[in-house]
Amino acid sequence: MPPLLQRALIGHHVRPHSYLRPATTNAVLGGSRLLVGGCWGRRMWPLVLWALLAAQAGAVLSPPPPKEAARMARYVLHACDWGALATLSAQDELRGRPFANVFSLSDGPAGPGRGSGVPYLYLTDLEVSVRDLQVNANASLTVSLAQTPYCKKNKYDPQNPLCAHIIFAGTVVKVSDTESGLAKQALFTRHPEMESWPRDHNWFFAKFNITNIWVLDYFGGLKIVTPEDYYSVKP
C-alpha cells in the first residue's frame, strides 16, 4: 500500500488493510495498483480517493529545509497564485513613492516539479501599476506561504519567519513571442478565468525579470540567493 494512502486512511480512522478485498475493481493510485472489491469496497472508494487527495495536498505544502534557501524561494513562488508587486508610482500625487498592488501570477502549472521559477503576469495598460512600469520598469515582488494553508495549519503568524516569504527585485517586461506560449500555459492553467477577461483591454503576457532575491524562512535574518542559484536548483 502506498505510505501516503496508509497515513491518510489512519488519519480518518480507517484500518489500512480493511479496504483491500478480493478484486472486483482495479484502480491505480499514486503509481500503485489497488484492489478494491465487493460491496464494501465500492462504498469506501470515495473515502479512499478523498483521503489520498487530501494527503497529497498536505505533501505539496511541505517546504524544503531552511538551509536550502534557493529551493525555498522556488517552492514558495510555485505555491502562490498571486503576489504583492511594488512599483515606483507615476501618479502625480504619489510620484516616485512606493505603490504596492496585488497581481495574479504563475511560474507554471500546479504540481511538484512543474514550476519554471519565472513569475509570469497577465497585464493591461489600463492597470495603474502598469502605467508606473511604463515610466520605470523596476519593481519588487513579494510572495508568502501565508497565502497557502501551510501557515494557518502550523499556527504561524504571517510575520513569523517560519511562515516563509520571498522578496524579488527586478524589472517587469513583456514576454517575447517565443515565450508567450509558456506564459499562457502557466497562467491560464492556474487562473482559467483570465481567458474570459474583456478582449478590448488588450491584455498581454509579461514576466518579472529577477535580479535579486531575499529569503526569510527562519530566525536569524534574510538570506540572499543569486538568480543563478535560484534557476539552477531542482525545485
- The answer to whether residue 54 is domain-embedded is no
Chain position carrying cell 509570469: 120
pLDDT digits (tens, 9 = 90+) for 159-178: 999 999 999 999 999 999 99
pLDDT of residue 97: 97
5 has a pLDDT exceeding 50 = no
Give the number of domains in the chain: 1
Tell me the three cell numbers of residue 43.
Answer: 462504498
Asked if the structure places residue 53 within a domain, the reply is no
* Residue-level pLDDT at 42: 52
Q: Is residue 166 part of a domain?
A: yes
Please give the residue range of the domain that contains residue 207.
69-230
Residue 102 lies in a domain: yes
Q: 32-85 pLDDT, tens per residue?
A: 444 444 444 555 555 444 444 444 444 445 899 999 999 999 999 999 999 999
The pLDDT of residue 62:
87
**Model confidence, pTM:** 0.75
Do residues 146 and 215 lie in contact, with contact meaning Cβ atoms separated by under 8 Å? no
Domain presence at residue 177: yes
- Over residues 174-218, the pLDDT tens digits come to 999 999 999 999 999 999 999 999 999 999 999 999 999 999 999
23 inside domain: no
At 30 the pLDDT is 43
What is the per-residue pLDDT across 110-154, written as a single tens digit (0 to 9) for each?
999 999 999 999 999 999 999 999 999 999 999 999 999 999 999
Asked whether residue 128 is domain-assigned, the answer is: yes
* 218 in any annotated domain: yes
Confidence at residue 98, expressed as pLDDT on a 0 to 100 scale: 97
Q: 192 Cβ partners below 8 Å, 6+ apart?
A: none
Could you give the CA distance from residue 62 to residue 46 in angstroms, rounded to a whole number?
25
pLDDT at 8: 43
Spatial distance between the Cα atoms of 89 and 181, rounded to a whole number of angstroms? 30
Dihedral over alpha carbons 221, 149, 119, 125 (to 10 degrees): -110
Instruction: Determine the pLDDT at residue 9.
Output: 44
Burial of 9-18, coded b for 16+ CB within 10 Å and e otherwise, reads beeeebeeee
CATH number, domain at 95?
Answer: 2.30.110.10
